[in-house]
Amino acid sequence: MYEHIAIELNEQNLQQVIEQSMQTPVVISFWAPSMPETAEINQMLEQITRQYQGQLILATLNCEAQPMVAGQFGVRSLPTVALFKNGQPVDGVGGPQNEQSLREMIGRHMPSQEELALKDALTKVDNQQYNEALPLLRDLAAKFSQNGVINLAIAECLIETAQFDEAETLLATIPMQDQDAKFKGLMAKLELHKQASDSPEIRLLEERLAADPADRDIAFELAVQYSQVERAEEALELLIGLLRKDFNFADGAAKKTMMDILSALGQGNAIASKYRRQLYALMY
C-alpha cells in the first residue's frame, strides 16, 4: 500500500511547518484537486523526498480548501512549488514541471549524497560506533580533498580501536589550521597511551626477549603485557609467532589470549581482520 508522506498544510500547522525549515528544508507544493497536473507534481515530490531519507520535508497546500493560507503566500497560479530553508523561501518554480526540473531546483539547496554519507558516518562516531564508521570515513576521505574534519574523525576511530600507530601517522599530517580542540584532545589521548604502554616491566621484558628471541615464555608474557596496555598489534604478532611454532602453547593459553584480543578489537577492525585470517589458516 502506497503511504503518503506529505504534511497537509492548514492555518493551524502552517507556522510549525515553516519553523521546521530552520532544521530541515521544507518543499511546499501548492495544488488543487481540480487540476490533475498539480496532483502529479505532488507524486513526483513524494518520490524525491523519500530519496532524501529524512533530510527533506514535503508539505502540500490544497489551495481550493485553504484559500486564505494560499493568499498568505501570494500564490498567483498553479502549480507552484516553493522551497523553504531557515524559515525563509529560498527557491521555487511555477507552471508545468517534470521530475528533472524539480530535482534540479531542490538539489541546488540540498547536500550531496557524499555529504549525507559523511553526516551519517560522523553520527556513528558520536555514537561510539567506531568500527562501523571507520570504513565509511576512509571511503569518503578520497572524495573530499583537504577535509580536516574527516581526518580527525578517522584518527578518533583509530585511537578508540587501538590502532595507535596509524592514528599517530595520520595526526602528523593535520595542517596547522585544523589543529583545533578536537585535534589537541586526540593528541593528548595518544600521549597518555604512550606513557601507559611503555612501563618499566614492558621495557625489561623487551630487553630479555631481544637477548633471547627463542624464549617462548618471555614472548608470551610480553604479549600479555602488550595486550593490557592496548598495544594489540604487537601482542598479536608475538602470539601468532608462538602459535606457528606450537599451536597448543601454554595449554592453549596463547590461543585463548589471541582470540580474546581479536574479540575485543571487533569485526570491523583492520588489525583484527589481518590476524584473524592468520589464526584461521593455522586452525583449518
- Taking alpha carbons only, the member of 151, 183, 182, 147 closest to residue 166 is 151
Average confidence (pLDDT) over 5-26: 94
Q: What is the DSSP letter of 60?
A: E
pLDDT tens digit string along 170-225? 999 999 998 999 999 999 999 988 887 888 899 999 999 999 999 999 999 999 99
Name residue 277's amino acid: R
**What's the CA angle centered on 173, arms 168 and 176, to 5 degrees?**
115
Average confidence (pLDDT) over 25-47: 96
Q: Residue 1's pLDDT is what?
A: 36
pLDDT tens digit string along 219-229? 999 999 999 88
Burial class (CB in 10 A: 0-12, 13-18, 19+), 172: exposed
Q: Which residue, chain included where needed, has cell 604512550?
A: 194
80 φ, ψ (degrees, to nearest 5): -135, 140
Q: Which residue, chain included where needed, has cell 507552471?
A: 95
Assigned C-alpha cell, 114: 557524499
Domains of the chain, start order: 7-107 (3.40.30.10), 113-196 (1.25.40.10), 200-283 (1.25.40.10)
Cα 180 from Cα 93, distance rounded (Å): 42
Higher pLDDT, 13 or 112: 13
Q: Residue 3's pLDDT is what?
A: 59
pTM: 0.59
Cα 161 from Cα 268, distance rounded (Å): 9
